[in-house]
């Protein structure tokens, strides 16, 4: 289970209890730095401006963890896990994009391709974990094969976000984590292939 909802934190705003969970469980994360910045400075600035500055500092510090060719690559975000086979309303609304549709989005793209995303389960996820995990792994493998992509497995949402921000082109997946990447890249004048948060 994960309490780390960076996209929701910045774009939707979480309650005080949810923010405190991030501070306790992910003390050195982009999310914690964002919460601290907002609290200490009573920061009413644009949320995306604030997180973009934090992300750029994070990239400077951890750039060695990113693929060497990331600036010449396309990164595709896949929302995996609960939404692949979950039966709750919010999971059904965030089913991942069909692989054929993803292929059409990058049909003329010759960049090396990386896929980010891991099998994620939130606090309120459906409990059919095994089914979600199996179908999620199958979907990911099919996407890797069909898109001729490599899975960037950092096991860290912040590093995944940095990878996507630093790429030449980003393909948006479902959910607010992906939407946040798009908004940060817009601030940096970087191109995106935008889809939608929901179907």
List Cα–Cα distances, 87 to 55, 79, 82, 126, 136, in angstroms. 34, 15, 9, 6, 14
Position 65 scores a pLDDT of 97
Checking if the pLDDT of 97 tops 70, the result is yes
CA contacts within 13 A on the Cβ side of 74: 19
Smallest CA-to-CA distance from 26 within 159, 142, 130, 131 is with: 159
Position 146 scores a pLDDT of 97
Q: Identify the structural domains of the chain with CATH numbers, from first to last.
A: 6-63 (no CATH), 70-193 (3.40.50.11350)
Checking if the pLDDT of 29 tops 70, the result is yes
Nearest 5°: phi and psi at 74? -105, 130
Smallest CA-to-CA distance from 115 within 132, 99, 127, 126 is with: 99
Of 69 and 196, which is predicted with more confidence?
Answer: 69
Smallest CA-to-CA distance from 113 within 72, 62, 80 is with: 72
**pLDDT level of residue 199 (50, 70, 90 thresholds):** low
End-to-end alpha carbon distance in the chain: 24
pLDDT (average), residues 2-29: 92
Position 1 scores a pLDDT of 56
Position 119 scores a pLDDT of 87
Provide the whole-model pTM: 0.94
List CB contacts of 55: < 8 A, sequence separation 6 or more. Answer: 30, 161, 162, 165, 184
Q: What is the C-alpha to C-alpha distance for residues 29 and 179, in angstroms, rounded to an integer?
A: 19
Position 23 scores a pLDDT of 96
List Cα–Cα distances, 169 to 94, 105, 127, 128, in angstroms. 22, 11, 35, 34
- For residue range 37-95, what is the model confidence (pLDDT) as tens digits? 998 877 666 799 999 999 999 999 999 999 999 999 999 999 998 888 888 888 888 88
Nearest 5°: phi and psi at 169? -140, 140
- For residue range 108-151, what is the model confidence (pLDDT) as tens digits? 999 999 999 988 887 778 888 899 899 999 999 999 999 999 99
Position 160 scores a pLDDT of 98
């Amino acid at each position: 289970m994960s309490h780390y909802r960076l996209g929701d934190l910045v774009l939707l705003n979480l309650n005080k209890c949810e923010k405190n969970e991030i501070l306790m469980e992910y003390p050195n994360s982009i999310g914690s730095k964002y919460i601290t910045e907002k609290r200490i400075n009573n920061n009413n600035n644009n949320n995306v401006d604030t997180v973009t500055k934090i992300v750029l500092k994070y990239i400077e510090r951890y750039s060695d963890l990113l693929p060497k060719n990331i600036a010449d690559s396309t990164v595709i975000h896949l929302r995996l896990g609960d939404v692949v086979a979950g039966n709750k309303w919010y999971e059904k609304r965030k089913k991942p994009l069909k692989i054929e549709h993803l292929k059409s989005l990058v049909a003329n793209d010759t960049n090396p391709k990386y896929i980010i995303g891991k099998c994620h389960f939130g606090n309120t996820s459906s409990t059919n974990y095994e089914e979600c995990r199996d179908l999620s792994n199958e979907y990911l493998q099919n996407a890797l094969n069909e898109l001729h992509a490599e899975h960037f497995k950092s096991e860290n949402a912040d590093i995944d976000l940095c990878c996507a921000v630093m790429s030449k082109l980003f393909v948006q997946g479902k959910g607010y984590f992906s939407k946040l990447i798009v908004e940060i890249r817009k601030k940096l004048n970087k191109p995106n292939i935008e889809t939608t948060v929901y179907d």
